[in-house]
Amino acid sequence: MLTLFLMQGCHKKKNSLETVLPRKSYEVIKMANGALVESHVTSKEGMNDALQTSTTPNSYGLDLTLHVTVPAPAMTMKALCAATPELANALPTLKEMLPPAPQEGVKNSSLFYSRLFENKIKMLHYQLSHLGQLPSRESLFDCQTILPLTNTTTQSTAILVQAIMNVNADGSDGDRNLLLEKLSSTYQPQTNYRWPKTTSRPNPNINELREHLALVQKSLSDEKITPEQKSRLALESSSLQSTLIELERWSFLVGSADPFIVLPKFMLEKIKDGASIGDYAVVLYQGILYPAIVGDIGPASKIGEASLRICRAIDSQSSETHRPLSAPHVSYFIFPGSKDYPFQAPDYSHWSERCHELWKNLGGSDKVTWHEWEKCDQPWPEIQPQINPDIS
């Protein structure tokens, strides 16, 4: 249970969670976003008149209590197969790799899972204190489990994540002729998986970003802007300049073309059982295995994000407003320490070979269907020489 008190008594020192609400309309039902809302108004007779009462902070106050039940991670075959029924046949060695049955009163042994929900509670704390929109129920309960697995015979290791599937369309590449689909306002032209550019072709985002930078710098020169506005614009200018430098130097994965998954940063830290950008991954859904890599870092309070290419292989209608799956039925297997370095442009055939090998070493069945990716970039059109008609 998370409890926040807004506008406390005038004799109490104001803490960081107390605030006076701005005079604007809040649509509580939209803000709650699937949370059960019960509202009550209480009143009492006061001893002071309106002039005196209006100056007393707690004469008009709001207490907010958000009740959250944090789910336990799935750690048994029954619970895991309830989310992904084909899991037992796809990975016959799974039962041997599961941790001992959890004991009542003992904190779960899934450290990554605990971190994920700790971050979710912090996010809820912030959102509620600012009366921001809360995440939907599907987004809050997006994860069934995060478990480290070890095959004691082959010593092969993996991280099993059961989660929903959100859409990621980030990334860009000037070297490959690809169609970019900027599906949301949060689109980023870079991914954390990147490699040095090999041609002089410009990144397709550069012109737009240069125009944006010019507008920001023009606004910075306006003498009428406030110090706060100047500070914000200076930060934006610095960020845009850094992005342009990166786009001129690197190529990146492209969400609409490349099969990759996204993990929160805490799963990519240099700790035991942690993964890395570039590590290989296998996505299992409805009896089909999809080879992939860990290609980007996502928010700390969510999991289950895959590139648009993977999403559309599972659901062709995938888009900014349509995720393939809103319940945690997808199993993601990440293989820590498996990355190839230095990073290079995607080679789907090699990625597939490595994923097949890692899956087999983990004890995966060779009877499961694999999805094989094909390149979707097009050859660059040839530049035709221009002929001057005045020359005979």
Compute the distance between CA of residue 158 and CA of residue 323 in angstroms, rounded to an integer: 26
pLDDT of residue 24: 60
Check if the beta carbon of residue 327 is closer than 8 Å to that of residue 138.
yes
Model pLDDT, residue 179: 86
Residue 283 reports pLDDT greater than 80: yes
Residues 223 and 261 in one domain: no
* In a shared domain, residues 259 and 241: no
Same domain? For 34 and 81 the reply is: no
Give the tens place of pLDDT for each residue, 96-145: 999 886 655 445 567 899 999 999 999 998 888 777 778 888 899 999 99
Q: What is the pLDDT of residue 183?
A: 77
How high is the pLDDT of residue 310? 98
Question: Residue 127 falls within a domain, yes or no?
Answer: yes
**Same domain? 241 vs 319:** no
The predicted pLDDT at position 387 comes to 61
Residue span of the structural domain in which 262 resides? 77-100+109-170+255-370
Q: How far is CA 274 from CA 37, 157, 162, 299, 336, in A?
A: 38, 11, 16, 16, 6
266 shares a domain with 164 = yes
Does residue 238 belong to any structural domain of this protein?
Answer: yes
pLDDT interval class at 19 (50, 70, 90)? low
Is residue 271 located within the same domain as residue 229? no
Give Cα 92 distance to the centre of its chain. 30
Is residue 34 one of the residues assigned to a domain?
yes
| 278 within some domain | yes
- Report cis status (omega within 30 of 0) of the bond before 299: no
Q: Give me the torsion for CA of 19, 186, 351, 281, rounded to 10°.
A: 20
In a domain, 390, yes or no: no
The whole-number pLDDT of residue 89 equals: 95
286 and 246 in one domain? no
Q: What's the domain count of the chain?
A: 3
Both 199 and 266 in a single domain? Answer: no
What average pLDDT does the segment 161-189 reach? 92
User: 200 with 297, same domain?
Assistant: no
Q: Are 255 and 168 in contact (CB under 8 A)?
A: yes
Residues 281 and 343 in one domain: yes
